[in-house]
Chains A and B, each alone.
Chain A
Amino acid sequence: MALTLKQQLSSPGGILKFLVKYNTIFIFILLVIFSALISDVFFTSVNLSNLLKQVSGIGIISIGMLLVILTGGIDLSVGSMVALLAVTFAILINLVILPLAIVLTIAIGFGLGSVSGYLVAYQKMAPFVATLALMTIARGLGFIYAKGSPVTFKTAGGVFMSNFANNSTLGIPNIAIVFFIIVIATMVMLRYNVFGRLIIAIGSNEEASRLSGIKVNKYKFLVYAISGALAATAAIIVASRTNLGSPNMGMSWELDAIAAVVIGGASLNGGRGTAINTLMGVLILGLIGNILNLLNVPSYPQQVVKGAIIIFAVLLQRFESK
């Protein structure tokens, strides 16, 4: 029996229950109000569009991370993949026409993700271990191909991408639009597509999935491959923003992505999590960084605050599941 909003709010303890249920959105709104109150600069379009540009890259890999986490796995390789694929994209854009460079980069990302997927799904390797290995391999390869230093865009295609990544459409940064499209597509896929339904089923009970005749291995393989392809998309975006591909990009992004997914209420055991909540998680992390920057808080205390927010968010969710 679905209760209306009004019924929910007027039942005993209803307001509290409501806040707990939608805690991610609630924290997000609180943060926005708080930010607006303490800083004049926050609600300027320059700041907001900067904020969106900053989170888009991590946001996209967070969606890949969400899919992997929904199956009960984890993908530690995405940060390093961003570095390797940004370098790859920078090299490709100087060699071939732009559309081909984009397609090839995404295909390579898919291929690298497939390696993790193969190890996890078919070789039964622990996701943590398989993707940890891929993480160091990808970072190493990034440095090898870049020969230790960033690769800059030199062609007309590079100029086009740089313009695209730094401009806005209808006031929204183009790269944020890419991120939002990915979020919406994932949302639809998780709700209305067999693929989405099955990965949630696998994450909530792998053995029951197997005994229901689901191709568990195939879907586990696919989520890592998709995570790789999304890492490539993020790599293209971050490289285009700065006009170069550097093997130092995406440092510890995998951890931010995991944090965003967890703040968004997903369970690391799998089976629970939504794209919209992951979006909120990404925005919350971005907002914290943004407002602390505006307040001139140095980066070390920022990390402490980030950690505290993660604990707070997860404790709230614990409360919810009771």
Chain B
Amino acid sequence: MKNSENEYRLEMSGISKSFGVVSVLKDVTLKVKPGEIHALLGENGAGKSTLIKILSGVHHKDSGTVRLNGEEINPKNTHEGQVLGISVVYQELSLVNDLSVAENIYLHKLGASKFWMNWDKITKDAQELIDSLGFTIDASAKVRNLSIVQKQVVEIAKALSEDTKVLVLDEPTTVFDPTDTKKLFDNLFRLRDQGISIIYISHHLDEIIKIADSITVLRDGVDTGTMAVKDTDTDGIIRLMIGRELKDLFPARNVEIGTEPIFEVKNLTAKDTIVHDVSFSVRPSEVLGIAGLGGSGRTETAKLIFGADKKKSGTLILNGKEIKTKSPVDAAAHQIGFVSEDRKEEGVFLPLSIRRNVSVTNFKSISGKLGFINVDNEYKKVLGLIDKLNIKTPSSEVDVKNLSGGNQQKVALAKWLSIDSKVIFIDEPTRGVDVGAKIEIYNLINEVAKKGVGVVVISSDMPEIMGISDRILVMHEGTIYGELQKEQFSEENILRYSIGKALKQHN
């Protein structure tokens, strides 16, 4: 593709942004040409989302300039961003369930322009838009009744309903199977050929290599450079992303794994979710990974075992004895811990102090008759954990909402480490956590396992799950599709099982 030199559609330069004392972006530059697919890469917490949110008008930069077609822009909100031609498809879906597909697609136009809406025309336009993407969705259907894949398509259609100049896609393919992914890519190529600039965020490096023209890598809020895809390969990209070899990131596993399972699950089936016929076991000191695509039932499995969702059938065996977990109360009583992936909504108590957060699971050991708390004892325990987990805080009385993501995650972990858990389920242990804290959390998981705890880690982060697990189960459509031993670990194998395929035979 030919473009006149130095003619960028979008130029973000010198962008810096801090939230409170936490500096998220430092002097970041991102330049995208018209008719280019530009991959934006970086680990979780590297600052990709923040950069995009500055572009779209959700956040406001502290310094730097954003130019669109050479003109400086400063969108104050997402509406202004859209009017300028910047459309973003976020990872989390933002559709209104009770409206139709067409209404959702044109939702942002409802408040503007005319008083009366021509629904027939809008539905017709929406249908044409979706048809042009090659997917079959009825534009008059309620969004509530769509599958997750269809919803994602609606999101993309919504982004294209404007006169889009810059299209940003944040992990659009996590829910797609290969056929849908291919369709999406064909669409992206078509849009690129129409001259639209596409910024593509993904962790799937194979995808990137396949579709992107150039890439920019962010690491800890700093861009480590832009390059053409043809000049690099997967290993080169990974080195740029993590700034060190993978082996440094994950602690060595050198513990004696028990022989008898500490915890077994047999034929577990959920009442209200897709989880069915799940069976597995975890041994003392073992770190068991559970991989799979979003929506494959990983989190639901953990919640089911923990008693947060209702079971239909199945057996749980702890230390050789059958146990029932009708509610999280039962699970906690059996010393089963669960650290939720949704830290803010389900993991920690944001408005409460670290001390009050950590003590919540641990009142038995710090309170006496009639439930009166021995405050000295409480301080001792909490300060011990803060020290052990290296939670960075001036005191135990700081509200958790004022801590960084990594430190919040450590508080969520501390809750379950303060009691002597026998089995801990950790869902997405390092989502939104910076690299430094990641390493500490990995070490922590290692240390917990060393004490004989069975640790089950659910993660979408492939290098992570391969780096810390002794064994990986891969879920697909609500059940365990395959099991990988350490020597079989590879992104490709995990992916094949995730999408319901057998492993490739090597011979």
Q: A1-B395, A193-B370, A193-B373 are in contact. Are A211 and B352 (CB under 8 A)?
A: no
Distance from B335 Cβ to chain A, minimum over Cβ atoms (Å)? 10
Q: How far apart are the CA atoms of A83 and B123 in the complex, in Å? A: 59
Instruction: Judge if B371 is at the interface, Cβ distance under 8 Å.
Output: yes
Q: Smallest Cβ distance from B23 to chain A, in angstroms?
A: 21
> By the criterion CB–CB under 8 Å, are B346 and A207 in contact?
yes
Which residues of B388-429 are within 8 A (CB) of A? 394-395, 397, 415
Identify which of A1, A194, A204 contacts B350 (C-beta below 8 A).
A204
Residue on B nearest A194 in the bound complex, by CB? B371
The answer to whether B96 has its CB under 8 Å from any CB of chain A is no
Contact assessment for A271 and B352 in the assembled complex, using a CB-CB cutoff below 8 Å: yes
Output the nearest chain A residue to B359 by Cβ-Cβ distance.
A197
B363 CB-CB contact with A under 8 Å: yes
B308: Cβ under 8 A from any A Cβ: yes
A205 proximal to B (CB < 8 A)? yes
Let me know if A192 and B360 touch, CB within 8 A. no
For the complex, is B243 an interface residue (Cβ under 8 Å from A)? no
Q: How far is the CA of A215 from the CA of B332 in the complex (A)?
A: 11
A194 CA to B372 CA in the complex, in Å? 6
* Bound complex: CA A192 to CA B348 (Å): 21
Quick check: B371 and A195 within 8 Å, CB to CB? Answer: yes
* Complex alpha-carbon distance, A259 and B407, angstroms: 37
Report the nearest A residue to B395, measured CB to CB. Answer: A1
Residues of A within 8 Å of B328, CB to CB, are: 210-214
A194-B363 contact in complex given A1-B394, A214-B329, C-beta closer than 8 Å: yes
Contact B351 A204 (CB under 8 A): yes
Provide the bound-state CA to CA distance between A84 and B499, in Å.
64
Known interface pairs A211-B340, A213-B328, A214-B360. Does A271 touch B373 (Cβ–Cβ under 8 Å)? no
A198 to B360, alpha carbons, bound, how many Å?
7
Tell me whether A201 and B360 are in contact (CB under 8 A).
yes
Please, what's the 1-or-0 string for A202-236, where 1 marks a CB less than 8 Å from any CB in chain B? 00110111111111000000000000000000000
Q: B360 and A212: CB pair below 8 A?
A: yes
Flag whether A268 is at the interface (Cβ < 8 A).
no
A210 nearest CB neighbor, chain B only: B328
Residues of A within 8 A of B395 (CB): 1-2
Contacts of B333 in A (CB 8 A): 213
Interface assignment of A200: CB less than 8 Å from any CB of chain B: yes
**Within residues 333 to 364 of chain B, which ones have a CB less than 8 A from any CB in chain A?**
333, 338, 340, 345-352, 356, 359-361, 363
Mark each residue of chain A from 185 to 199: 1 if its CB lies under 8 Å from any CB of chain B, else 0: 000000011110110
Interface size class of B (residues with CB under 8 A): 20 to 34
Which of A194, A195, A208 touches B348 (beta carbons < 8 Å)?
Answer: A208
CA distance A194 to B367 in the complex (A): 7
- Interface residues in A75-105 by Cβ distance below 8 A to B read none
Task: State whether B372 touches A197 (Cβ < 8 A).
Answer: no
Do A272 and B351 touch (CB < 8 A)? yes
Q: Nearest CB to that of B332 among chain A residues? A: A213
Chain B 457-470 against A: per-residue CB contact (8 Å), 1 yes, 0 no?
A: 00000000000000
Q: A194, A197, A211, A214 — which one has the most chain B CB atoms within 10 A of its CB? A: A211
* Cα separation A139 to B447 with both chains bound (whole Å): 61
- Whether A201 and B352, one on each chain, are in contact in the complex, defined by CB atoms closer than 8 angstroms, is yes
A215 CB, nearest partner CB in chain B, Å: 5
- Give, as a whole number of angstroms, the nearest-CB distance from A274 to chain B: 13
A212 close to B371 (CB less than 8 A): no
B residues near A198, Cβ cutoff 8 Å: 360, 363
Whether the pair B349, A197 counts as a contact (CB closer than 8 A) is no
Q: Is the CB of B373 within 8 A of A197?
A: yes
Nearest-CB distance from A170 to chain B (Å)? Answer: 29
B375 at the A interface (CB under 8 A): yes
Residues of A within 8 A of B351 (CB): 204, 271-272
Q: How far is the CA of A213 from the CA of B340 in the complex (A)?
A: 13
Nearest residue, chain A, Cβ from B336: A213
From residue 311 to 340 of chain B, which have CB atoms closer than 8 A to chain A? Answer: 327-329, 331-333, 338, 340
Q: Does B306 contact A (CB under 8 A)?
A: yes
Let me know if B308 and A271 touch, CB within 8 A.
no
* Distance of A1 Cα from B402 Cα, bound (Å): 14
Contacts of B370 in A (CB 8 A): 193
Least CB distance from B332 to A in Å reads 2
CA distance A156 to B139 in the complex (A): 79
Residues of B close to A210: CB separation below 8 A: 308, 327-328
Residue in A204, A205, A210 with the greatest tally of chain B CB atoms within 10 Å: A205
Between A197, A209, A212, A272, the greatest number of chain B beta carbons within 10 A of the residue's beta carbon is seen for A212
- Do the beta carbons of B372 and A212 come within 8 Å of each other? no
A200 to B338, CA, bound (A): 21
- Of all chain A residues, the one with the shortest Cβ separation from B338 is A211
Give the CA-CA distance A201 to B348 in the complex, in Å. 10
Q: A208 with B375: in contact, given A197-B363, A200-B356, A213-B333 (CB under 8 Å)?
A: no
Q: Are A208 and B372 in contact (CB under 8 A)?
A: no
Question: Is A193 a contact partner of B332 (Cβ separation < 8 A)?
Answer: no
Among residues of A, the one whose C-beta sits closest to the C-beta of B340 is: A211
Residues of A that sit less than 8 Å from B by CB = 1-2, 192-195, 197-198, 200-201, 204-205, 207-215, 271-272
- Return the 7 tightest CB-CB contacts between A and B, nearest first: A213-B332, A194-B371, A194-B363, A204-B349, A213-B328, A1-B394, A205-B349
Q: 13 pairs across A/B with beta carbons < 8 Å?
A: A2-B395, A193-B367, A193-B370, A198-B363, A200-B352, A204-B351, A205-B345, A205-B348, A205-B350, A211-B306, A211-B347, A271-B349, A271-B351
Q: Which residues of B contact A (CB under 8 A)?
A: 306, 308, 327-329, 331-333, 338, 340, 345-352, 356, 359-361, 363, 367, 370-373, 375, 394-395, 397, 415
